[in-house]
Structure 1
Amino acid sequence: MSVEGKEPDPRFTLANERTFLTWLSTSLALSAGGVAMAALPRDVFVPWVRTSLAVVLVLLSALAAVLSYPRWRNVQRALRHEQPLPPLALAPLFGYGVAAVAVLALILILLAG
């Protein structure tokens, strides 16, 4: 990123950096959840459902990792030019995606018990 615009307050830059790192941590957690779901024994859940849940979690992980840097860059640019921060357009996708996986896993746990 080129250094154009006014230098923002360091607290805002550091907060933006922490948010970027949090997106990466979230990506790692989603990836670990997907791998854990895929590694479950065959008798836990229906195999295609287990695989589907794992794939959704890993896809959300990849999406979070890929989009974290452009998000950081766009926020930093807005801070430097004293513009409104860009909206987080993917928040509903992540929120609903993780919620759907959790609800489906809960239903499968209850049915297996």
Structure 2
Amino acid sequence: MQPLAAIDSVHPTTPDGRYFVVKGQLWRCSNPSLSEEVRQRLVNELMAARREVKAAKASADSDALKAARAGVHQAKVALGERGDVWWTDGARDFNRCNGDCQKF
């Protein structure tokens, strides 16, 4: 995974720093309060789980695929990219929103 500065140069971020934008869709950024050490460990876990997804798909192993996808989800939750929001001001979550976000 690219460092946050590299992501910012490729994909714009929202003014509040909560999301980056890809093809008009909002994607939640990692929790900025994570230490660099913790963030990097979680990114490594995420990348390993994504490799496991690829391997499970290649071998058509549905049980391994389910477990690997759970690993991806767990890492993304720990990073703050899924699950409960990491901000505390009560603002709604617009993760994966594109177009008219008012419906959320």
Structure with more helix by fraction? 1
- Interval of TM-score (by shorter of Structure 1 and Structure 2): 0.3 to 0.5
TM-score, scaled to structure 2: 0.40
Higher strand proportion:
2
Of structures 1 and 2, the one scoring higher in RCO (CA 8 A, sep 6+) is 1
* TM norm structure 1: 0.37
